[in-house]
Amino acid sequence: MARSGRLLALMQSLRRRRRPVSAATLAEELGISPRTVYRDIATLIAQGAPIEGEAGIGYVLRAGFFLPPLMFDAEETDALMLGLRLAAGRGDAALAEAAENALAKIAAVLPSPQQEAAEDSGLVVARHSGAGAPLTAIRQALREERKLRLSYSDKKASATERVVWPVLIGFFEASEVLAAWCELRSDFRHFRLDRIATATALPERMPRRRRVLLAEWRALQED
């Protein structure tokens, strides 16, 4: 591996971690010696990389450091393009527009060969009708951690009114599903977005943080 590529790989390895990682772990991951890791860390620090730590303790990259998109390799570029195309194809109008804008920004800073590869990518996502206005309101409630009022029809077409605490939206092959704490049932419930007639983000904040609810919901899925 060329030195420039090795330095980039080292930065990426540090970037993936929130806690200090030892030189021995980095060396094993990158297929180099711990001594080379020490030298490369020193080089990166000298070039301005915000790396903290020392030998015997470990190293961590301070939050906020940004590597420009032009550093993405071919596989990473494919992953980004696929993810953004999924968002454009499955999201509401605002999310689709944001995904298209992000695609344009990334493509604009890629080197010419990667620009061509991105534009001619064989990874295509079919457009989906999406959930329209309900999805927009649900995303707002998720982002602001607010309660959500739903007009919902179950699989028997029985209409109900629910006030829920939104946890996440799952995008599956045939449908989108909202996972939420339901005040009516005092438990977690799943609501298909195509059965939601209306969704309104309420002024009231959720009594519990969404990250706490998400952890509890995930624990239930593992049981």
Quick check: 193 and 131 in contact, CB under 8 A? yes
Domain at 25, CATH number: 1.10.10.10
Instruction: Report, as an integer, the average pLDDT of 142-150.
Output: 95
Does 128 reside within a domain?
no
Does 127 reside within a domain?
no
Instruction: Give the model confidence (pLDDT) of 91-130 as tens digits.
Output: 888 888 888 888 887 777 676 666 776 776 677 676 665 5
Does 214 reside within a domain?
yes
Residues 6+ apart with CB under 8 A from 97: none
173 and 103 in a single domain? The answer is no
| pLDDT reported for residue 92 | 84
Confidence band of 152 (pLDDT split at 50, 70, 90): very high
Of 11, 43, 61, the one marking the end of a domain is 61
**Domain of 162?**
133-222
Instruction: Give the model confidence (pLDDT) of 22-65 as tens digits.
Output: 999 999 999 999 999 999 999 988 888 889 988 888 999 887 66
Contacts 24+ apart (CB under 8 A), 115-119: 117/74, 117/77, 118/77, 118/81
Q: How far apart are CA 39 and CA 23, in angstroms?
A: 11
Check pLDDT > 80 for residue 170: yes
Of 43, 61, 79, the one marking the end of a domain is 61
110 and 145 in a single domain? The answer is no
Does 90 reside within a domain?
yes
As for how many domains the chain has, the answer is: 3
Quick check: 106 and 98 in contact, CB under 8 A? no
Domain at 164, CATH number: 2.30.30
114 and 90 in a single domain? The answer is yes
Comparing C-alpha atoms, which of 188, 197, 194 is closest to residue 159?
197
Q: How far apart are CA 14 and CA 37, in angstroms?
A: 12
**Scanning the structure block, which residue is given the tokens 């927009």?**
136
Residues 6+ apart with CB under 8 A from 76: none
